[in-house]
Chains A and B, each alone.
Chain A
Amino acid sequence: IAGITQAPTSQILAAGRRMTLRCTQDMRHNAMYWYRQDLGLGLRLIHYSNTAGTTGKGEVPDGYSVSRANTDDFPLTLASAVPSQTSVYFCASGEHSTDTQYFGPGTRLTVL
């Protein structure tokens, strides 16, 4: 069982380009999340999904979009990347009953 996989592992991107970060889980969790991690700020929620077909905005949603076509996949798209989106991005899935979350290995994104 892989748990949660993220791709790519790292990426360098020119400002203004479009980028999709991929996230797949095999635990059949209903809830999925995207966070960004920045030094000194901890993890900040970008978007979340409580179940397939629904999504919601987190603390820092501007410049990002998500979709949840099925239970397993939860891609994050940057429509037009900006340098302030340089960060490490973590995808997570979770159990509704306990709010416990399981994290992927992360994607390190650099926008130049």
Chain B
Amino acid sequence: AQSVTQLDSQVPVFEEAPVELRCNYSSSVSVYLFWYVQYPNQGLQLLLKYLSGSTLVKGINGFEAEFNKSQTSFHLRKPSVHISDTAEYFCAVSNTGGFKTIFGAGTRLFVKA
């Protein structure tokens, strides 16, 4: 069975500071990994995904994530955050072609001026 753990429920950070949102997963098979973002009162939208190839994945809005197979992690990073990045971020994992995606509980990023 697969599972996803987002290690921080809330991350407060000042504007223009770097941020890392942590995600660990467990799976006995090959996986696809995702980060989704949810702005207030909206649905989720894809931020970035890892399917195969380069372990460093770049997404929208200046975010990037690195797949680390040995540590079963897929942490999300941004070198300089903006107020507009305030949102909830979800890490997700699926077994390749399995049609079921498991989502983490979410990390609320709060960017302060």
Bound Cα distance A97, B51 (Å)? 10
Interface secondary structure of B, over-half rule = loop
CB pair A96 B99 closer than 8 Å: yes
- Whether B96 pairs with A99 at a CB distance below 8 angstroms is yes
Contact with A along B65-92 (1 / 0, CB 8 A): 0000000000000000000000000100
B49 near A100 (CB under 8 angstroms)?
A: yes
Check if B9 sits within 8 Å of A99, measured CB to CB.
no
Are B99 and A103 within 8 A (Cβ)? no
Closest residue of B by beta carbon distance from A105: B43
Interface size class of B (residues with CB under 8 A): 20 to 34
Given contacts A31-B99, A41-B105, A42-B103, contact A103 B34 (CB under 8 A): no
**Cβ-based interface call for B94 (8 A):** yes
Check if B43 sits within 8 Å of A103, measured CB to CB. Answer: yes
Bound state CA distance, A98 and B92, in angstroms? 13
Q: Which B residues are within 8 Å of any A CB, using their own CB?
A: 9, 32, 34, 36, 41-46, 49, 51, 90, 94, 96-101, 103-106
Residues of chain A touching chain B, judged by Cβ–Cβ distance below 8 Å, are: 4, 31, 35, 40-45, 48, 50, 58, 90, 92, 94, 96-106
